[in-house]
């Protein structure tokens, strides 16, 4: 399928998703995350990236990516199993950061207060987007208009609002006007790519990276291997992480996972005392331990090579 054909398919699927409410979590066409629900600022305050670090990261809301770019990353490959995430995060949110000032961005993304002024601002951002993204949004809105619906980009996102993000200092790039302006400059100097992909395809579909950010994958191991039992799905997920570590991580290199559900995993392992996970080993103590891993606060695991 050509890129043009894929975009046309994406427009049709997104139209149907909106009209018939077909979206399900982790579908190829589901609501994107408006903002992160992670305190990403506290994560990246632990790291300082040099300009030559090559990053692989889940895309999602983009907040993790934007803070990493602000923190020195210049080359990033991103992936997501949700196609809407690309159009929202790279085809709208990133463009909004690049084209709007700090206060305009805060105003536009305060979605609880819609206005004609914000609609004009949204249309302006879309008009500044790369052609493939501009065409997606404009054709999608045209399709919905034929059904009598005046739609917005924000109809295709769910989750945290900007007030929560600001109140909890979740993103460094949104803390101050100065940080936001620095991100604008950093984005102009960065190279960010996207590939629609499931995490299961990373070992075969990607090369080597210095830093791999997998976010909260462990929250969804039952979905990733939905055809398996709970214990087998956990085992398969850990084996997948080991394969990514072996195949895709440079030496030296780091993989970061967040919200690692230690208690839940320990419960599974304790209920199955004979379970053995190899080559990844997890203890049934209070801390999860990988070979060469550093257990960070709040369930984060940094796996070094």
Q: What is the DSSP string of 224-261?
A: HTTTS-HHHHHHHHHHHHHHHHHHHEEEEEEEEE-S--
**Tens-digit pLDDT string for the chain (305 aa):** 898 999 999 999 999 999 988 777 778 999 999 998 877 777 777 777 888 999 999 999 999 999 999 999 999 999 999 999 999 999 999 999 999 999 999 999 997 767 888 999 999 999 999 999 999 999 999 999 999 999 999 999 998 888 888 877 789 999 999 999 999 999 999 999 999 999 999 999 999 999 999 887 777 777 888 888 887 887 888 788 888 988 999 988 888 877 555 555 555 555 554 444 333 333 322 333 333 444 444 445 666 77
Give me the residues paired with residue 262 across strands: none
Alpha helices (H) along 129-197: 131-146, 162-167, 177-188
Spatial distance between the Cα atoms of 202 and 136, rounded to a whole number of angstroms: 27
Which of 299, 25, 66, 22 is CA-nearest to residue 159? 25
Q: Please tell me the pTM assigned to this model.
A: 0.87
* pLDDT number for residue 107: 94
> Burial of 279 by CB count in 10 Å (0-12 exposed, 13-18 middle, 19+ buried)?
exposed
Q: Where are the beta strands (DSSP E) in the chain?
A: 32-33, 54-58, 75-80, 157-158, 191-196, 209-215, 249-257, 293-295, 301-304
Q: From residue 84, how far is each of 81, 185, 196, 256 by CA, in Å?
A: 9, 26, 10, 24
* Residue 294 exposed, middle or buried by CB count within 10 Å (0-12, 13-18, 19+): middle
Structure tokens at 287: 């801390």
């Amino acid at each position: 399928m050509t890129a043009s054909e894929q975009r046309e398919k994406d427009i049709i699927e997104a139209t149907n998703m909106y009209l018939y409410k077909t979206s399900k979590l982790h579908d190829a066409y589901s609501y994107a995350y408006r903002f992160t629900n992670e305190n990403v600022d506290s994560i990246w305050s632990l790291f300082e990236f040099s300009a030559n670090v090559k990053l692989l990261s889940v895309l999602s809301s983009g907040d993790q990516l934007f803070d990493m770019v602000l923190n020195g990353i210049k080359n990033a490959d991103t992936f997501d199993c949700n196609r809407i995430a690309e159009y929202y995060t790279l085809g709208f949110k990133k463009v909004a950061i690049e084209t709007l000032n700090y206060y305009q961005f805060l105003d536009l993304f305060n979605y609880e207060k819609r206005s004609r002024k914000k609609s004009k601002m949204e249309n302006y951002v879309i008009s500044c987007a790369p052609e493939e993204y501009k065409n997606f949004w404009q054709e999608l809105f045209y399709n919905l208009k034929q059904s009598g619906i005046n739609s917005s980009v924000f109809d295709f996102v769910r989750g945290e609002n900007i007030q929560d993000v600001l109140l909890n200092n979740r993103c460094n790039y949104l803390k101050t006007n100065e940080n936001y302006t620095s991100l604008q400059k950093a984005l102009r100097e960065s190279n960010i790519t996207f590939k629609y992909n499931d995490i299961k395809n990373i070992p075969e579909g990607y090369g080597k990276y210095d830093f791999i950010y997998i976010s909260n994958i462990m929250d969804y191991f039952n979905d990733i291997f939905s055809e398996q039992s709970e214990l087998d799905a956990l085992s398969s997920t850990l084996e997948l992480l080991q394969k990514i570590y072996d195949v895709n991580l440079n030496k030296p290199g780091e993989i970061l996972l967040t919200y690692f559900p230690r208690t839940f995993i320990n419960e599974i392992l304790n209920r199955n005392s004979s379970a053995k996970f190899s080559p990844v080993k997890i203890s049934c103590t209070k801390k999860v331990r990988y070979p060469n891993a550093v257990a960070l606060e709040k369930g984060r695991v940094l796996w070094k090579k």
